[in-house]
Structure formats: structure tokens, C-alpha cells
Amino acid sequence: MTRRRILLVNPNTSALVTQILASEARRIVGEAAEIDAVTAPFGAASLECRAELVVAAHAVLEAIAAHTNYDAAVIGAFGDPGLEAAQDIARAPVFGLGRSGLRAAAAGGRRFAIVTIGERMRPDIERMVVAEGLSNQLTAIRFLSAAVLDVAADRALFSDALVSAAHACVTEGGAQSILFGGAPFAGIAHDLADRIAAPVFDGLASAMRDAMEAPPLSAPAGVMASATPRKANVRVSQQLAERIHDFLSRRV
């Protein structure tokens, strides 16, 4: 059987976060896939506000355009920076920790809660929930009082706080499942499952499952290369400019 090749893009510039994501992704897929993990070439070391997400979206598109020969791609941040645009220009299916995690936690109509980091991200998380049509199933969003890089540096230090937050979501809010949102939580569902009285999910595990199961994209129908004039791009890589041009050249 041919091994799948998964492009795993860390949208922040922290090599530690890339290592966490890559290590857990390789544990999940075992010998079934090759993981090509890349770190954002520019931007913030962690994503904790909307401005950082916007910058990260550009970095994600550059990474998607710069790499070829992969069967699926995963964007390794809970805010899914650049997901929809990446799906437009990529030549393989693209998934994000946020939307994949939401769908997994809410599967079967379960009422679910989110435990994550970064209070300023609340509006973006709520918009994702609405976009997925899951507002009626969401019971709560609880934010850990910690910085992303602190959790990445010593996740065990925060495990009791995570369990406590999950427990409150179940006992006080009636959540039937818990989604731990964020790259530093990659693998946390596996680690803490026996301490929480409800099914536990994390975005990376959910996105990796989607990436492993996704069929290849069909070839774009009706590319009209001559119908769309080329335009100048400033400080955008040639690879990304070409991908965008190809997208604009397709029949609508």
C-alpha cells in the first residue's frame, strides 16, 4: 500500500509548536503516512488575536504554494488561518484543527464544549461554530488562563486545570463531549481521556483523521489560462502568485 503524504503547516513561527504537532501526527498515523511538517516562514510565535491570524493566513498560503506532491494538508492552528483560501488554491484537500475538531466533537448531535487558550479569540471561535451550523450544540467556551507558548513549553503543568475546566463543562453545562482547541493541545485527548467523564477530542487528531480519509481532488474543470490576464504581485512568492492565477483562470 502506498503511504499517504500529509503536509502539516504550523501557521506560527515557533519550532517547538511544530515539533509538538509533528510528533503527535506521526504517532497518530504510524506507518500509514509520511508527515512533512513545516513552520510558517514569517509571523508571530503564537496566534492569540485576529491580527496574528490574518498574518498567519498569508504564511499558510505561502507554505501551501511552496510544497507539492502531498495527498492532503493540515493547518495546525485552532483558528484555521487561511483555510478557505488554501482550499481554493491547493491541489489536494486541506483541513484545519478548528473545523475538523468541531465536527468531531459535535458528531451524532452531541452537545459539546470547547476548552482553549486566548480570550481574544472568542469572536473568531464563535464565528467558526456558526459557520459549521453547530451553535445549538455548543454549551460553553472556557479559556485557560495561560499563554500559548507557556502551555507548549510544559503542558503537564496545566493538565489539572484542563481536567478541571472539562469537568465543569460536563457537570455544570451538560456537555456530552469536550474539544481541546489549539496546537499545544495536540495529543491531549489521548493523554487525559481517562480523567474526563465524556468523550474528549483535540483538533489535530480530528484533522489528521480527515486528511487520511479524504479522497484526492478531481482535476479543475475547464481551466481558461488565456481568459485571465496576469497581474503584478508585490512581495508575494512566484509560487503563490501562480496558484492564485490558476484559481482565477478556472471557469466559475
- What is the C-alpha separation between 229 and 74, in angstroms, rounded? 31
- Are 81 and 111 in a shared domain? no
- Are 24 and 148 in a shared domain? no
Residues 234-243, mean pLDDT to the nearest whole number: 95
Quote the domain boundaries for residue 216: 4-97+211-220
Position 221 scores a pLDDT of 52
CA distances from 46 to 120, 141, 146, 180 (A): 13, 20, 12, 17
- Are 56 and 136 in a shared domain? no
Question: Residues near 132 by Cβ (< 8 Å), separated by ≥ 6?
Answer: 99, 102, 103, 106
Q: What is the pLDDT of residues 132-149, one digit of tens each?
A: 999 999 999 999 988 899
Residues 194-201, mean pLDDT to the nearest whole number: 95
- Are 165 and 136 in a shared domain? yes
CA distances from 1 to 32, 85, 218 (A): 9, 32, 21
Residue whose entry in the numeric block shows the C-alpha cell 488561518: 81
- Are 159 and 88 in a shared domain? no
- Are 75 and 114 in a shared domain? no
Q: Return the CATH number at 142.
A: 3.40.50.12500
Q: H or E stretch including 124? A: helix 122-131
The three cell numbers of residue 172 are 455544570
Residue 92 has pLDDT above 80, yes or no: yes
- Are 84 and 114 in a shared domain? no
Q: How many domains does the chain have?
A: 3
pTM above 0.85, yes or no: yes
Secondary structure string (H, E, C) spanning 173-229: CCCCEEEECCHHHCCHHHHHHHHCCCCEEEHHHHHHHHHHHCCCCCCCCCECCCCCC
- Are 71 and 18 in a shared domain? yes
What amino acid is encoded at 182 in this protein?
G
Residues 87-91, mean pLDDT to the nearest whole number: 96
- Are 170 and 226 in a shared domain? no
